[in-house]
Amino acid sequence: MIHWKKQLLEAELEADPIALAVSRWEKIAPGFSVAEEGKEKLRKLIRQFDICDLLTAMEDCKKYLKFDKDGDVTEDSWGKAFNKLGPILKANEIGKENPAMKEILYYRGILRNTVGGERVESDSVRIMHDAWKEGISLPDLREICEKVDSWRDFEMHITGALVDMDMRNEYE
């Protein structure tokens, strides 16, 4: 049975990958149709990434969808989720080479939503990656990102975690 489904998917991919991607998205996010502009975006993504990776990213985008009482996706969440396809594909690609970096990029998103500002965009990934290489765990980095409300607070928590780690290492 699985072999048969795989052959069917491969045939669909060869026939028209755009149609397959559109069909899959419209099943994941019912209530709206992919317009020509959206189809062009999907074409670009398929040229840049593997179609299977795109289909996986579509599944990953489900978390951004909100549904109305009729079971259709709300307009705002449909657009938000569709626009997350590219960033999710890029993060997944980076994650294949460096799984920690995928998490760190996600944590930057948390900071972007809570702290905002230019420093989040320009410095947060480097700082978190350096802290991780120094021994701060990914769950600890996530916890820091979830509880801070300013860039200064973020820097203080990272510095504090590094100092605590150094002190623990000193006594071991």
pLDDT of residue 13: 56
Tell me: pLDDT of 166 over 90: no
pLDDT of residue 10: 59
Tell me: pLDDT of 5 over 60: no
Q: Which of 45, 42, 34, 36 is nearest to 18 (CA)?
A: 42
Q: Considering the chain, what percentage of its residues have pLDDT values greater than 70?
A: 88
User: How far apart, in whole angstroms, are the C-alpha atoms of residue 142 and residue 131?
Assistant: 12
Other Cβ atoms within 10 Å of 5 Cβ, number: 9
User: How far apart, in whole angstroms, are the C-alpha atoms of residue 91 and residue 94?
Assistant: 5
- State the average pLDDT for the chain: 88
Tell me: pLDDT of 153 over 90: yes
pLDDT (tens digit per residue) in 41-69: 999 999 999 898 999 999 999 999 999 99
pLDDT of residue 62: 92
pLDDT (tens digit per residue) in 69-83: 988 899 999 999 999
CB 125 within 8 A of CB 108: yes
pLDDT (tens digit per residue) in 89-125: 988 888 888 889 989 999 999 999 999 888 888 899 9
Helix residue ranges, H only, 64-150: 75-83, 85-97, 99-114, 118-134, 138-147
Q: Model confidence at 7, in pLDDT bands (50, 70, 90)?
A: low
114 contacts: CB under 8 Å, gap ≥ 6: 145, 146, 148, 149
pLDDT of residue 43: 94
CB 158 within 8 A of CB 127: yes
